[in-house]
Structure 1
Amino acid sequence: MSRAFVKEGDGALDPLPDLPISPYPNHVTPTGLAALHSRLRDTQARLAALKARPDRLDKLPEAAAERDIRYLEARLRSAILIDPATFPLTEVAFGLIVTVLDDEGREQRFQITGEDEADPPQGRISPQSPLARILIGASVGDVVTWVKPSGRTELEVITIAHP
């Protein structure tokens, strides 16, 4: 094969494509903002450790760390801090914790958090989730209908609390 069409490189990688950034406003709770700062510090430390390796033949981990740093810095620049402690407990809002009772008598707790902080198994849901969209604005005693792939579920709001 002719070497005319082979790219000779210097051993460096092209930057990895950036991680997708959500088109929604980047609302964050104080806890979520602190977590973003912590993730950035940890990723910067990981990158420094990767660059300090004596054998740096595999540059992919460095490129991944640099990409993650670009993502975290972008999320921090666009962060809109919302402190739920300032909200009255009259209706479900961003950052507040809501306890609901489903139509089978089970209680569940959810906190509506920023996208980067969301963790559904831990009860933290993003404002764009179907569940959060039906809960936002509901008051204690309200019954909302959550349409899931498995069917419709009626949820009664039984408490609203600060984190």
Structure 2
Amino acid sequence: MSRAFVKEADGLAAFDELPERLVSPHPNLVTTTGLAQIEAEVARLSRDYAEAQAAGDRAALNAAARDLRYWSARRASAELVPDPAESEEVRFGSRVTILRDDDRRQTYRIVGEDEADPSQGTVSYVSPIARALLGKSVGDTVQVGPGEVEIIAIA
């Protein structure tokens, strides 16, 4: 069939159906900071939704509603994990300093998926580097990507 005969959404109707944000199949483990970030996002999106509703802005309303559904689901499924009481081995919430083969030192905190931002020094607990480090101790060497890293500090 020619595309000429297919009715496509136009104008405001184009914003009626936004795809849902995918929710991870992994448990939603969060730190105290991560839970606060989720709560702040729900509050912000609730305000955005109310403003879009008052303005009659259907596109903004649909976008806010979709994101609010996502963050509300993340808040409902959040499992708060307290910071580790000890630093003998790498756990969720640990801050780990590693030494790479090229003598670069990097420090990462292992956190939940929604709060991970490697540029800010946080990595998701389901990331390859975090999975390699979890359960290890200072002095252990683990394979990360094409090279090895040594754990030099855990806090």
Q: Report the TM range for the smaller structure's normalisation.
A: 0.7 to 0.9
Aligned partners of 1:100 and 1:156 also within 8 Å: yes
Match in the other structure for 1:20: 22
DSSP-derived class of the 1:52 partner: helix
* Paired AA for residue 143 in structure 2: T
Match in the other structure for 1:80: 79
Match in the other structure for 2:127: 129
Which digits, 9 at most, give the CA deviation of each residue in 1:65-86, with x for residues without a partner? Answer: 00111001100111000011x4
Deviation at 1:106, TM superposition (A): 1.1
DSSP-derived class of the 1:112 partner: strand
Following the alignment from structure 2 to structure 1, what is the Cα–Cα distance between the partners of residues 85 and 137?
13
Q: Give RMSD over aligned pairs.
A: 1.9
Match in the other structure for 2:69: 70
**Regions of 4+ moved over 6 Å:** none
Match in the other structure for 2:3: none
Which digits, 9 at most, give the CA deviation of each residue in 1:98-142, with x for residues without a partner? Answer: 001111111100111100001011121111111011000110011
DSSP-derived class of the 1:100 partner: strand
Following the alignment from structure 2 to structure 1, what is the Cα–Cα distance between the partners of residues 23 and 95?
26
Which structure 2 residue ranges, 5 or more long, are not aligned? 1-5
Is 1:155 the counterpart of 2:149? The answer is yes
Identity value in percent: 45
Is 1:93 the counterpart of 2:69? The answer is no
TM-score by length of 1: 0.83
Which digits, 9 at most, give the CA deviation of each residue in 1:33-68, with x for residues without a partner? Answer: 000000110111111112222xx3x51111010011
Deviation at 1:16, TM superposition (A): 2.8
Following the alignment from structure 1 to structure 2, what is the Cα–Cα distance between the partners of residues 25 and 42?
24
* Paired AA for residue 104 in structure 1: D
**Structure with greater helix share of residues:** 2
Match in the other structure for 1:49: 51
DSSP-derived class of the 1:116 partner: helix
* Paired AA for residue 76 in structure 2: R
Following the alignment from structure 1 to structure 2, what is the Cα–Cα distance between the partners of residues 144 and 87?
23
DSSP-derived class of the 1:88 partner: coil
Residue correspondence of structure 1 range 134-149 to structure 2 within 5 A: 134-147=132-145
Match in the other structure for 1:40: 42
Aligned partners of 2:16 and 2:59 also within 8 Å: no
Following the alignment from structure 2 to structure 1, what is the Cα–Cα distance between the partners of residues 17 and 93?
35
Match in the other structure for 1:106: 104
Aligned partners of 2:21 and 2:66 also within 8 Å: yes
TM-score by length of 2: 0.87
